[in-house]
Amino acid sequence: MTNKLKYFVANWKMFGNLASLKSANKINYYISSKKKLRSHSKIILCLPNTLIYFFKKNFHSKFISLGAQNCHQDEKYGSYTGSVSSYMLKNVGAKYVILGHSENRITGESNNVIKKKIKSALNQNLKVILCVGETLKEKNKKKTFSVIKNQIISSLGKKFNTNNIIIAYEPVWAIGSGKIPKTNKLETIFKLIKKNFKHKKAPVVLYGGSVNAKNIRNFSSVPDIDGFLIGGASQSPKKFIDIIKNYYK
Ligand code: 13P
């Protein structure tokens, strides 16, 4: 079953300074002026931690939810130099947190650590966007779904609360590469994820990896895709807004 609401989630990664808040506000301004769009779209900006509070305080946006891009597995405070907890993120205005991104998995973040991070985020009432996806090598070995399944089961279990957890399917080989999966492959993968992890209702599943204003129409023919996790193109308000516009064209 398809979730009606379409998600457009920006992942700014390690980009942006105080001046970039103007970009974020352009998105806010656009969404504020589009009542119809708001009724069927959910816009989430996952900003660097340094900008979350400033955005919240300056723009008081009713239409944009804020998210962070990672958190420490300990829920509140601890002697973990350089780390930020889910409690601290919640405290500055985050409602979502991206976890398990391949850019963090590649530095050694294990499914077990991701599991602890998910627990801490949920305890703080943050919604989790859990990233999963196969590498090129795994794709070539036709292991795509078994990799995804293992990543989901080892950090969430077979049954999870589909109200609090969003799955983002991001093939590692598609991130920042300009390459995207074939439509028929996406159809199969999204169906499999939704079918295998249905618990009361099917989870919200996003696609991420090289999404841009030109290729977004390729995805609109796959109804099981509930939205997008957008990296590079989300740092420009024009590109991000064009993705949304073209999706509905
Ligand atoms: P790109 O859109 O830059 O490929 O990044 C995708 C991503 O990693 C989003 O989390």
Residue-averaged pLDDT of the chain: 95
Residue nearest atom 7 of ligand 1, based on CA coordinates? 231
Tokens of 35: 């009542």
What is the rounded CA–CA span in Å between residue 237 and residue 241? 6
Question: Tens digits of per-residue pLDDT, 136-191?
Answer: 999 999 999 999 999 999 999 988 999 999 999 999 999 999 999 999 999 999 99
Give the closest residue to 125 by CA, choosing from 166, 70, 87: 87
Read off the pLDDT band of 1 (50, 70, 90).
Answer: very low
Q: Which domains does the chain have, with CATH numbers?
A: 6-247 (3.20.20.70)
- CB of 4 closer than 8 Å to CB of 41: no
- Which DSSP state fits 20? G
Query: 4 or 204, which is more confident?
Result: 204
Is 16 close to ligand 1, i.e. is its CB under 6 Å away? Answer: no
- Residue 223 Cα to ligand 1 middle (Å): 21
Burial 45-80 (b: 16+ CB within 10 A, else e): bbbeeebbebbbeebebebbbbbbbbbbbbbeeeee
Ligand 1 atom nearest the C-alpha of 212 is: 2
Q: What is the pLDDT of residue 2?
A: 46
Question: Tens digits of per-residue pLDDT, 8-25?
Answer: 999 999 999 999 999 999
